[in-house]
Amino acid sequence: MVGAPVTATLPATWYADEAVLAAERERIFARAWQWVGRIDQLPQPGAFFAAEAGHVPVVVTRGRDDVLRAFVNVCRHRGHLVAEGEGCRGTLQCPYHAWTYDLDGRLRRAPRSEHEPDFDPAEWSLLPVAVDRWGPLVFVNPDPDAAPLAETLGELPDLLAGAGVDMGVLAFRRRVEWSQAANWKVGIENYLECYHCAVAHPGLSKVIDVAYGAYQLDAHPTFSVQRGPLKDGAAPWDTGGQVSRAQWQWLWPNLTINVEPGPQNLSVDLWLPDGAGRLRGVTDYFFGPDCADADAEAIIAFSQQTGAEDQGLVESVQRGLASGMVSHGRLLESSERLVAHFQRMVRDALA
Ligand code: FES
Ligand SMILES: [Fe+2]
């Protein structure tokens, strides 16, 4: 995009071209911290769960020594995925030929390898990746030498604490899996502006002031934050609750974090590329222990409604971009600053 005006969007081809996705895998997803699951999925030593960091299958373990570790979830024998789902078995056994790994990644047993004179199990450990956590959220970076997660999070934990969110008390309540016929960036970009809210989200616009000037967009080096003042009588939210405001965060590259006013609550959405023109999503909802089921359900229903309204938008954008007939669009800096920020980061990563 050399020479393109700063308000130009990324080229439309970047949303439909498998070669661009291949570059994103290498330059973005193979080296970024990504949310993969929850600490409650590892309730005791010996537990594990399988997940994906972008295109990289990973397995997160809690060893018998109680240490959190993560590995590329690919068998060193011939590449079958080693672990599936989650559980507590003390070892990981590949279902193909039963190579068995310790939860610290070491190959413990490879049937018939005793007949191979030069077979050294120490050379065939699972490949380690970086792992860390923030409250109940577990993150993995496929790059084992990655800088600490805290560097990517930056001031984000402080900003959530400032809104009244206590990561220490949040407990998982519900997972929702979803998919969209859209490039992962289309999904993120739609999340990053509320220019469309007045038109597309009548329910949200009734309770949040989405007007120009009222709605706040703040870009940080690795994340961004949106805040919309609540309108008076903003049901379904309890504006006198522990969390004082609605705040929507995006964290590089593909995690969004939603905080609604009222009881202790937080939800995270993961936007996983599934080919250039599709994405798979996972949303986990967390609430404080004293949040009544009815209040939790109201927050979940409200967010699901907004998500359903967005689905048609992003899928239509994908069809438009994939037509190849319009080379790029034009961003409004005042209302789409965070989209521009995201696109700048993608452009820099791929440069
Ligand atoms: S591929 Fe895992 S044991 Fe053969
Ligand atoms: Fe939306």
pLDDT for 3 beyond 70: no
Q: 276 alpha carbon to ligand 2 midpoint, in Å?
A: 21
126 lines ligand 1 (CB under 6 A): no
Nearest residue by C-alpha to atom 4 in ligand 1: 97
Distance CA 35, CA 12 (A): 27
Q: What is the DSSP letter of 231?
A: P
CB atoms within 10 A of CB 23: 14
**Ligand showing the shortest atom-to-Cα distance for residue 101:** 1
92 contacts 162 by C-beta, under 8 angstroms: no
To test the pocket of ligand 1, the residue of 75, 124, 127 to mutate (highest count of ligand atoms within 8 Å of its CB) is: 75
* Confidence (pTM): 0.95
Structure confidence by residue, pLDDT tens digits, 127-184: 999 999 999 999 999 999 999 999 999 999 999 999 899 999 999 999 999 999 999 9
Dihedral angle of Cα 93, 96, 58, 136, to the nearest 10 degrees: -50
pLDDT for 252 beyond 90: yes
Nearest residue by C-alpha to atom 1 in ligand 1: 78
191 lines ligand 1 (CB under 6 A): no
97 lines ligand 1 (CB under 6 A): yes
Confidence grade of residue 239 (pLDDT, cut at 50, 70, 90) = low
80 lines ligand 1 (CB under 6 A): yes
Q: 43 alpha carbon to ligand 2 midpoint, in Å?
A: 35
